[in-house]
């Protein structure tokens, strides 16, 4: 069968598909998250399969280029998950190739406990010490008021996520990192497409990689850099392409980076830790494959098998990249539907604020919402488990804000960490917060029904 005939067969499969069944309230599930894929993604994956290349190849090169250009970083490096992206980003800061600027075991990293475990785990996996501070209500993001109190003489970095697609206070965080000369990693796994504008009243700080002579990690930037996508503000940033996320390739993620030295380190850690940067299937990109002498290896030892970092193999296949490429074409549409659904849910629940805390976008931010978080107020006198069960009985999917309070998770027992503020809001999230879906696969009748059931349980009437 020719390539054309196969692609025609794929087309016929989609043309002949029956329409999505009508939504039946109380019977049709309303998942909190999901993927929207169709013929374009399948055609792209089939094309990649027919290439027979399998590992990262032409689709991956195009995906990395287009993703970096969308976000506004110099490089995007694909990896096999958002967790792997965080592992690569944090491990890069521990690379001895950064010289005096590298983190060392025992160094402290400021973060939050209300979030996803694999934002924080790579700090522990590298021997660093996470230092937890509280979050703000409503935005569910780090509370910058606690930053100064978290400092010690071992503080070296800040690693935090833009919670559920709502950017954290980038003016405060970048200014703090610039002032204290700290590395910043933005976990954008839930926030692809979100933007932030540094207000005119604030200085704009742009990350810079240090060298031994100039240990400054940040420089003042011009006004033209004020508004950017999240992912451009830190030294490194990360994305996830798991099906719940803004775009998907099944499993997948990416590290975003603009500094050439950091990019080289991150690529090396993704690709076994090797010093060589040849793409799969290529040889001698450096033009001196047998001309290097590194470590205690003999002169001329094959560069392909020379390792300068403690690495992994976290690459994706070209089929995944092909799916991601097709999804990139839809990204702007996905983000605006998520925003519109957020506004719709806010409007439907606007008069419940006595019983429920509704989410608020961070000042100066245009979020790219991942979910719609709400927190039960004490005035409601209701139990979250009862509420989640009620929604579950009505086929309305819910999720918690991931780990709630990480330090209370079983695996944190016996770990080296520090808590540098009260975690009052974090505990409140652990006890009373949950989120419902707003992903592009949900329709207005679904959102109506979800809010109707929420209101019924709250006793807010309709
Ligand atoms: C903030 C955050 N970081 C990292 C991850 C991990 O991504 P992945 O599931 O692709 O490993 C997630 C997962 O949803 C997440 O929400």
DSSP symbol at 166: -
Degrees to nearest 5, angle at CA 108 with 107 and 112: 155
From ligand 1's centre to the CA of 166, what distance in Å? Answer: 15
Predicted pLDDT of residue 225: 78
Distance 118 CA to ligand 1 centre (A): 7
- Contact yes or no for 131/415 (Cβ under 8 A): no
Between CA 208 and CA 178 the distance in angstroms is 10
pLDDT tens-digit series, residues 156-210 = 999 999 999 999 999 999 999 999 999 999 999 999 999 999 999 999 999 986 6
- The ligand 1 atom nearest the CA atom of 251: 10
Beta strand 205-207 with 218-220 is: antiparallel
Domain boundaries of the chain, sorted by first residue: 1-273+308-462, 278-306
Predicted local confidence at residue 211, as pLDDT: 63
* 6-31 mean pLDDT: 91
Please give the DSSP secondary-structure letter assigned to residue 269: H
> What pLDDT, in 10s, does the model give residues 97-137?
999 999 999 999 999 999 999 999 999 999 999 999 999 99
Average pLDDT in the chain: 95
Using a 6 Å cutoff on CB, does residue 141 contact ligand 1?
A: no
Q: How much distance in Å is there from the Cα of 189 to the middle of ligand 1?
A: 6
Ligand 1 in contact with 187 (CB < 6 A)? yes
* pLDDT (0 to 100) of residue 212: 54
Domain 1-273+308-462: which CATH class?
A: alpha beta
Q: Please tell me the predicted confidence (pLDDT) of residue 192.
A: 98
Which residues are annotated as catalytic? 245
> How buried is 351 (Cβ within 10 angstroms: 0-12 exposed, 13-18 middle, 19+ buried)?
exposed
pLDDT value, residue 210: 62
Q: Which atom of ligand 1 is nearest to the CA of 84?
A: 11
82 lines ligand 1 (CB under 6 A): yes
Q: Please report the atom of ligand 1 found closest to the CA of residue 163.
A: 1
User: Tens of pLDDT along 69-106?
Assistant: 999 999 999 999 999 999 999 999 999 999 999 999 99
| 72 φψ region: left (φ > 0), alpha (ψ -120 to 50), beta (else) | left
Whether the CB of 33 sits within 6 Å of ligand 1: no
Q: How far apart are CA 305 and CA 268, in angstroms?
A: 12
């Amino acid at each position: 069968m020719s390539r054309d005939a196969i692609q025609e067969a794929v087309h016929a499969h989609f043309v002949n598909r029956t329409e999505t069944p009508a939504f039946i309230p109380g019977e049709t599930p309303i998942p909190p998250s999901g993927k929207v894929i169709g013929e374009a993604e399948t055609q792209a994956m089939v094309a990649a399969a027919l290439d027979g290349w399998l590992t990262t190849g032409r689709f991956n090169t195009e995906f990395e280029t287009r993703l970096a250009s969308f976000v506004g970083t110099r490089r995007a490096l694909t990896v096999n998950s958002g967790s792997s992206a965080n592992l690569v980003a944090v491990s890069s800061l521990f690379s001895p190739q950064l010289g005096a600027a590298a983190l060392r075991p025992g160094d402290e990293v400021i973060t939050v406990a209300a979030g996803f475990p694999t934002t924080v785990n790579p700090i522990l996996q590298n021997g660093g010490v996470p230092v937890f501070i509280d979050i703000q209500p409503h935005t569910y993001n780090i509370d910058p008021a606690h930053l100064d109190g978290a400092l010690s003489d071992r503080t070296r970095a800040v690693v935090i996520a833009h919670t559920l697609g709502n950017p954290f206070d980038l003016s405060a965080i970048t200014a703090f990192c610039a002032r204290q000369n700290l590395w910043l990693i933005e976990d954008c796994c839930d926030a692809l497409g979100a933007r932030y504008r540094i207000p005119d009243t604030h200085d704009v700080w742009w990350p810079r990689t240090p060298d031994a002579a100039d240990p400054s990690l940040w420089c003042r930037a011009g006004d033209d850099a004020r508004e950017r996508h999240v992912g451009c503000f830190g030294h490194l940033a990360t994305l996830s392409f798991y099906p719940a996320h803004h775009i998907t390739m099944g499993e997948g993620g990416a590290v975003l980076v603009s500094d050439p030295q950091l990019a080289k380190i991150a690529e090396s850690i993704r690709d076994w830790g090797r010093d060589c940067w040849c793409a799969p299937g290529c040889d001698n990109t450096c033009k001196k494959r047998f001309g290097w002498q590194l470590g205690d290896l003999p002169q001329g030892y094959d560069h392909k098998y020379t390792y300068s970092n403690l690495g992994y193999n976290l690459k994706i296949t070209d089929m995944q990249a092909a799916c991601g490429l097709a999804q990139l074409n839809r990204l702007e549409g996905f983000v605006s539907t998520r925003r519109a659904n957020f506004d719709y849910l806010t409007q439907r629940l606007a008069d419940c604020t006595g019983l429920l805390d509704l989410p608020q976008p961070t000042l100066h931010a245009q979020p790219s919402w991942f979910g719609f978080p709400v927190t039960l107020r004490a005035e409601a006198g209701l139990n979250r488990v009862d509420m989640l069960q009620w929604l579950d009985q009505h086929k309305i999917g819910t999720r918690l804000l991931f780990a709630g309070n990480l330090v209370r998770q079983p695996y944190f027992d016996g770990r080296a960490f520090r808590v540098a503020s009260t975690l009052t809001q974090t505990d409140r999230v652990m006890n009373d917060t949950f989120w419902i879906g707003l992903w592009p696969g949900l329709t207005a009748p679904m959102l109506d029904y979800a809010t109707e059931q929420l209101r019924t349980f709250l006793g807010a009437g309709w």
